[in-house]
Amino acid sequence: MKRNWLKPDWQPELIIPNIPIEHLLIKGIKALVLDVDGTLIPSHEIVLHESVILWIKKAKRNFALHLLSNNPSRRRIENISQQLDINFTFRAAKPTKSALTRVLDQLNEEPKNIAILGDRLFTDILVGNRLGLYTVLVHPLGANGNPCKNKRTQHIEQIIAKLLGVSHT
Ligand SMILES: [Mg+2]
């Protein structure tokens, strides 16, 4: 196997509004697949932070975008997609490949030119690596557009990935 499936291509330790779009452009990225809960918005909130909206506005000038969420609530993910005017997929069942495969068909770009940005190793990064995307592990977003201080889930995932011997940290 060429790559470790639980190793992100890039782990900048930044929340999404602080991700430099230039880095993605230099990598030849043409489209972004974005996780929702924990990546664009804390899972208990319903209104996107201004900094996220601004980042998406800038991203739209450079990339095709799609929201890919495991959340089973169409209402929640549709509401967030409407705030951003981006197509969405809910109940995506990451890390299984079927939903992301459908999105790749729509985006019509080489997988290596598509980045997936998410806050979870075992869903976002794993499915992205399985399908050959450029995988970016972001710091989870907390209240008021700040980095989430409680990264318990992410810590547990890093520990398991390390135990499996496939993490780079
Ligand atoms: Mg998430």
Distance of CA 162 from the midpoint of ligand 1 (Å): 20
Mean pLDDT taken over the chain: 94
For residues 115 and 166, which has the higher predicted lDDT (pLDDT)?
115
Q: Are 88 and 108 in contact (CB under 8 A)?
A: no
How many H helices and E strands in the chain? 6, 5
Give dist(CA 117, CA 157) in Å, integer.
16
Q: What pLDDT, on the 0 to 100 scale, is given for residue 152?
A: 87
**Alpha helix positions (H), 32-73:** 50-60
Alpha carbon of 42 to ligand 1 centroid (Å): 9
**Quick check: 33 and 111 in contact, CB under 8 A?**
no
**Cα–ligand 1 centroid distance for 25 (angstroms):** 23
Classify 103 as helix, strand or coil: helix
- Count CA atoms closer than 13 A to 66's CA, side-chain side: 21
Task: Give distance in angstroms: CA of 32 to centre of ligand 1.
Answer: 15
Q: Which residues surround ligand 1, an ion (CB under 5 A)?
A: 35, 37-38, 119
Ligand 1 centre distance from Cα of residue 120 (Å)? 6
> 25-79 pLDDT, tens per residue?
999 999 999 999 999 999 999 999 999 999 999 999 999 999 999 999 999 999 9
Residue 82 sits at the vertex; the CA angle it makes with 66 and 119, to the nearest 5 degrees, is 45
pLDDT digits (tens, 9 = 90+) for 66-111: 999 999 999 999 999 999 999 999 999 999 999 999 999 999 999 9
The string of pLDDT tens digits covering residues 101-153 is 999 999 999 999 999 999 999 999 999 999 999 999 999 999 999 999 888 88
Q: Kindly report the length of the chain.
A: 169
Give the pLDDT of residue 16.
Answer: 98
Instruction: Give the Å distance between the CA of 109 and the centre of ligand 1.
Output: 24
CA of residue 110 to ligand 1 center, whole Å:
24
Domain at 16-163, CATH class? alpha beta
Where along the chain do its domains lie? 16-163
